[in-house]
């Protein structure tokens, strides 16, 4: 149960950072979020980060539903 909570938090942060990085560079020509301070990613990679976060959220939710049965 505790690990699922951590995975949920990490997934939400990854989605926010991925979307913010993509939107900032695509439409506002500036860097948004914290991720650009750690690594220099190309524009499509930000969507990959958001997708990975979404996969983590779905996996944690599926695990919770499976355990509730």
pLDDT tens column, 41-50 = 899 999 999 9
| Domain carrying residue 50 | 2-68
Inter-residue contact 26 to 43 (CB < 8 Å): yes
pTM for the predicted model, two decimal places: 0.83
Q: Quick one: pLDDT at residue 21?
A: 93
Residue-wise over 21-56: b if at least 16 C-beta within 10 A, else e?
bbebbeeeeeebbebbeeeebeeeebeebbeebbeb
Give the chain's domain count. 1
Q: Quick one: pLDDT at residue 65?
A: 77
């Amino acid at each position: 149960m505790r690990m699922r909570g951590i995975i949920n938090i990490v997934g939400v942060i990854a989605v926010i950072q991925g979307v913010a990085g993509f939107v900032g560079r695509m439409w506002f020509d500036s860097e948004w979020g914290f991720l650009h301070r750690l690594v220099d990613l190309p524009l499509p990679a930000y969507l990959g980060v958001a997708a990975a976060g979404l996969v983590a959220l779905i996996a944690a939710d599926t695990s919770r539903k499976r355990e509730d049965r």
